[in-house]
Amino acid sequence: MVREERGILFVVSAPSGAGKTTLVRNVISQVPGVSLSVSCTTRTPRPSEHEGVDYFFITPEEFNAMERAGKFIEWAKVHGDLYGTPRANLEKLRHGEDLVLEIDTQGAKRISEAFDDGVFIFILPPSLEVLKGRLKDRGGDSEGAIQARLHNAQKELDQKVWYDYIVVNEKIEEATRALASIILAERCKTTRLLGEKIGGTYGADNG
Amino acid sequence: MVREERGILFVVSAPSGAGKTTLVRNVISQVPGVSLSVSCTTRTPRPSEHEGVDYFFITPEEFNAMERAGKFIEWAKVHGDLYGTPRANLEKLRHGEDLVLEIDTQGAKRISEAFDDGVFIFILPPSLEVLKGRLKDRGGDSEGAIQARLHNAQKELDQKVWYDYIVVNEKIEEATRALASIILAERCKTTRLLGEKIGGTYGADNG
């Protein structure tokens, strides 16, 4: 009756400019027992990004070789760049560690088909106007890239309906608390707990 | 398409001695927008308890009169005392305020049949041994009363399986954080949000 202890997979999506990356990093530094699934990408690193922390930055040739070798659980082309989730990252779940996977809605949909007990969280900017402002302020992107991101953002927003949770990122402190709360609350779900620690302590009354 | 804004009903049960009362009061003082549903009871107040804060302490005659007048959503006899949830308390939900209802498992079951979107949380002491110790330390109860509570606690524990969440009250700070997190996380559930604030801000893509 005792289930193997297993971490929880949290899948976080957001339109570009919703502040997802900062939010996720805040939460990972505050909540013990959860780490980030670092993805591979062929896109150019932004000035603030670090190899192996934000992404594994690889060439299209390396990406294609990994893909052919079946080393990605899922991969997608977003704004012309390739993004892939290494299968090896999910190993942590088997050791009871929770994992946050930042991924676009296409990728999240494919993960949801493979993992029926993943937790899907959508980060929403307070409004499209705020989103537009944030995309312009970011710097380092051309006007064309901004427009493409905004168009894509509107399409991504339509996908929020099938996610389990929506966090509105109006104030970063509140949004951080909300995302951390989702992680802590999911750990208390009866369906996840029974058969693990609790079944052991209180005997066979959970049949 | 816009749903009436409505508070969330959190129903919290625990065996006697699990530390439910302290936990719930901590959370209510920390989380804005949530208040306690104060129940009526015919039992004698404990030294630390205050009228209208912990319970409305009423006589069996008053209780029966309220019951006959249909003023309780549910009521039950527990260890020989009557407990009832005033229907008027749930009015707060209509004004968008979240509500925590502390109630035994019998009462919780009846509430679950009436409210299909209530959130059901079970507070668990770390072990039966700890529970036994806490019931003895409490004071003010006879040995017979302690034994009856312990017997009842074991029966209540069997009911945890149908609750949505289980919070193990080993360390009060951690349990407080877990319970607060459940409240904050439930507020982010997509099913609760769509059609309310989010539908308004982002247009008709949530059909």
How many structural domains are present in chain A? 1
CATH code of the domain covering residue B176: 3.40.50.300
Q: Alpha helix locations (H) across A95-162?
A: 105-114, 128-137, 143-157
Nearest Cα of chain A lies from the Cα of B148 at a distance, in angstroms, of 19
In a domain, B82, yes or no: no
**Does any domain span residue B165?**
yes
Q: Is residue A157 part of a domain?
A: yes
How many Cα atoms within 13 Å fall on the side-chain side of residue A112?
17
Whether pLDDT at B47 is above 60: yes
| Residue ranges making up the domain that contains B185 | 9-38+96-202
Task: Please tell me which residue of chain A has the smallest CA distance to B189.
Answer: A165
pLDDT range class, residue B203, cuts 50, 70, 90: very low
Question: In the prediction, which pLDDT does A10 show?
Answer: 97
- Strand order of the sheet with strand A165-168? A34-37, A98-102, A9-13, A119-124, A165-168
Q: Please give the Cα distance from A153 to B202 (Å, whole number).
A: 12
Asked if A72 and A89 touch (Cβ cutoff 8 Å), the reply is: no
The Cα–Cα gap between B191 and A207 comes to: 30
> Out of A163, A166, A190, whose CB is closest to B161?
A190
Question: Is residue A151 included in any domain, yes or no?
Answer: yes
Q: Quick check: A128 pLDDT over 80?
A: no
Give the contacts of A203 (CB within 8 A, at least 6 positions apart). Answer: none
Work out the mean pLDDT of chain A and round it to a whole number: 86
- Does A127 contact B201 at a Cβ distance shorter than 8 Å? yes
The predicted pLDDT at position A17 comes to 77
The pLDDT, as a whole number, for residue A161 is 94
Q: At A103, list the tokens.
A: 């991924």
Judge contact between B167 and B123, C-beta under 8 A: yes
Can you name the residues that pair with B198 across neighbouring β-strands? none
Confidence of residue B5 (pLDDT cuts 50, 70, 90): low
User: Looking at A87-205, which runs of residues are DSSP E strands?
Assistant: 98-102, 119-124, 165-168
Q: Which of B124, B182, B189 sits opposite A198 (nearest CB)?
A: B124
For the residues B30-48, what does the mean pLDDT come to?
94
Shortest distance, CA A12 to any CA of chain B (angstroms): 13
Give the span between the Cα atoms of A206 and A200, in whole angstroms: 10
pLDDT at B194: 84
Q: Which residue has the higher pLDDT, A160 or B144?
A: A160
Q: What is the ipTM of this complex?
A: 0.83
> Inter-chain contact A198–B128, Cβ cutoff 8 Å?
no
> Quick one: pLDDT at residue A140?
63
pLDDT score, position B2: 37
Write down the residue that tokens 């209510």 correspond to. B28
Look at residues A100, A123, A106, A120 and name the one whose alpha carbon lies nearest to residue A18: A123
What is the model's pLDDT at position B206? 37
Chain CA centroid to CA B133, Å: 23
Q: Mean pLDDT throughout B140-157?
A: 80
* Amino acid code (one letter) for A54: D
pTM of the predicted protein model: 0.85
* pLDDT > 90: percent of chain B: 53
State the DSSP string of B74-117.
EEEEETTEEEEEEGGGGHHHHTT-EEEEE--HHHHHHHHHH-TT
Q: Is residue A2 part of a domain?
A: no
Most confident of A14-23, A118-127, B135-144: A118-127
Q: Which amino acid belongs to residue A201?
A: T
> Is there a contact between A185 and B182 if contact means CB atoms under 8 Å apart?
yes
For A2-30, the pLDDT digits (tens) are 344 689 999 999 987 788 889 999 999 99
Task: Answer yes or no: is B1 within a domain.
Answer: no
Strand A98-102, strand B81-86: pairing = unpaired
